[in-house]
Amino acid sequence: MGFILKIEGPEQVDLGVEDILTVSFDMETPDDANARSTDLGSTLTITGKIIPRLGGLKDETIKLAKWSKIPAEEEDAYQKLELDVINAGQTVRNFTFTHAFVVDYTEDFGSGEGIGTFTLRVRQKKDKTSEVGIAGGF
């Protein structure tokens, strides 16, 4: 499987199959609900590699780190995110968050491999949950 991530904001982010390792999608309701709740939340957790680029190419993950520190009061904290899950050339899932914001962002580095890893956890703005797009099979 492969993954393609595009984020539209002040700086566009494009990460591809060589950058992303795992993806997890969660549609959450409160654990204490006795029936289907109206308090829904949508979360994507994306883990990938931080790869040093050669030949003047920039590391796209630095843009994720910069996005993660934008305060909630600023409009740029909310950005459009699209993630494709691809298998054998077919899109298995396409997730679209129209108003994604960073919940958590971490980077880990080791001295042995020469690459780092990142984990980006984003959520759709609560009052825009109905705008989350989920498609696939094309």
Residue 64's H or E segment, with its range, is helix 61-68
Q: Which two tokens stand for residue 110?
A: 């080791």
Provide the residue-wise pLDDT of the chain in tens; the chain has 138 residues. Answer: 899 999 999 989 999 999 999 999 998 876 666 656 667 889 999 999 998 776 656 788 999 999 999 999 999 999 999 999 999 989 999 999 999 999 999 999 987 777 899 999 999 998 998 899 999 877
Question: If you ran DSSP here, which 8-state letter would residue 51 be given?
Answer: -
Residue 48 confidence (pLDDT)? 95
The CATH class that applies to domain 2-30+39-135 reads: mainly beta
Measure Cα distances from 74 to 21, 86, 99, 105 in Å: 30, 33, 13, 18
Residue 82 confidence (pLDDT)? 98
Residue 122 confidence (pLDDT)? 97
Residue 125 confidence (pLDDT)? 93
- Give the SS3 label for residue 62: helix
- Could you tell me which residues are beta bridge partners of residue 124? 100
Burial (CB count within 10 angstroms: exposed 0-12, middle 13-18, buried 19+), residue 124: buried
Cβ atoms 78, 101 nearer than 8 A:
yes
Residue 33 confidence (pLDDT)? 61
